[in-house]
Chain A
Amino acid sequence: MVWNALLLALREIRRNVLRSFLTILGIVIGVAAVIVMVTLGGGATLQVTQQIASLGSNLLIISPGKRMGPGQTAGAPAFAASDAVALVRDIPQLAAVAPMASRAMTVVYGNANWSTQITGTTSDYFKARNWTAKSGRLFSDSELRAGAAVCVIGNTVRGKLFGSQDPLGARIRLQKIACEVIGLLESKGQSSMGTDQDDLVVIPLRAFQRRIAGNQDVGLIQVSVRDGASTSRVQQEIERMMRERRHLSENEENNFNVMDMKEITKMLTSTTQVLTALLSAVAAVSLLVGGIGIMNIMLVSVTERTREIGTRLAIGALEKEVLLQFLVEAAVLSSFGGVVGIVLALAASVGLASVLNVPFVFNAPIVAVAFAFSAAVGLVFGYFPARKAAQLDPIEALRHE
Chain B
Amino acid sequence: MSQPTPVNSAAMIELRGVTKTFGKGTAAMQALRGVDLRIEAGEFVAVMGPSGSGKSTCMNIVGCLDTPTSGTYLFQGVEVGKLSRDQRALLRRHYLGFVFQGFNLLNRTSALENVELPLIYRGDPIAARHQRAREALAAVGLAGWEHHTPGELSGGQQQRVAIARAIVSQPAVLLADEPTGNLDTARSQEIMDILTHLNREQGITIVMVTHESEMAAYASRTIHFRDGLVAPVHEETA
Contact = CB atoms under 8 A, between A and B. Distances in A.
A390 B107 CA distance: 20
B65 A395 contact: yes
Contacts of B109: 11, 15
B93 interface: yes
Contact of B92 (A315, A320, A321, A398): A315
A4 interface: yes
B122 A318 contact: no
Contacts of B104: 307-308, 310-311, 398
Nearest to B86: A318
Nearest to B114: A311
A4 B92 contact: no
B106 interface: yes
B13 to A, nearest CB: 17
A15 B108 contact: yes
B121 A319 contact: no
Interface string B41-79: 000000000000000000010010110000000000000
B123 A315 contact: no
B225 interface: no
Interface residues of A, number: 24
B201 to A, nearest CB: 23
B117 interface: yes
A318 B165 contact: no
A316 B60 CA distance: 14
B117 A315 contact: yes
A307 B166 CA distance: 16
Interface in B167-189: 169
A30 interface: no
A318 B90 contact: yes
Contacts of A15: 106-109
A312 interface: yes
A104 interface: no
A312 B121 CA distance: 9
Contact of B89 (A7, A310, A313, A395): A313
Interface string B107-126: 11100010001101111000
B113 A315 contact: no
Interface in A212-245: none
Interface string A291-309: 0000000000000000110
A356 to B, nearest CB: 45
B226 interface: no
Contacts of A310: 104
Contacts of A312: 117, 121
Interface in A299-348: 307-308, 310-321
B106 A308 contact: yes
A316 B93 contact: yes
28 contacts: A4-B120, A4-B121, A8-B120, A11-B109, A15-B109, A307-B102, A308-B106, A311-B100, A311-B104, A311-B106, A313-B89, A314-B63, A314-B98, A315-B92, A315-B117, A315-B118, A315-B121, A316-B92, A316-B93, A316-B121, A317-B93, A318-B86, A318-B121, A319-B85, A320-B86, A394-B65, A395-B66, A398-B100
Closest 6 CB pairs of A and B: A316-B93, A311-B104, A316-B92, A15-B108, A315-B118, A314-B98
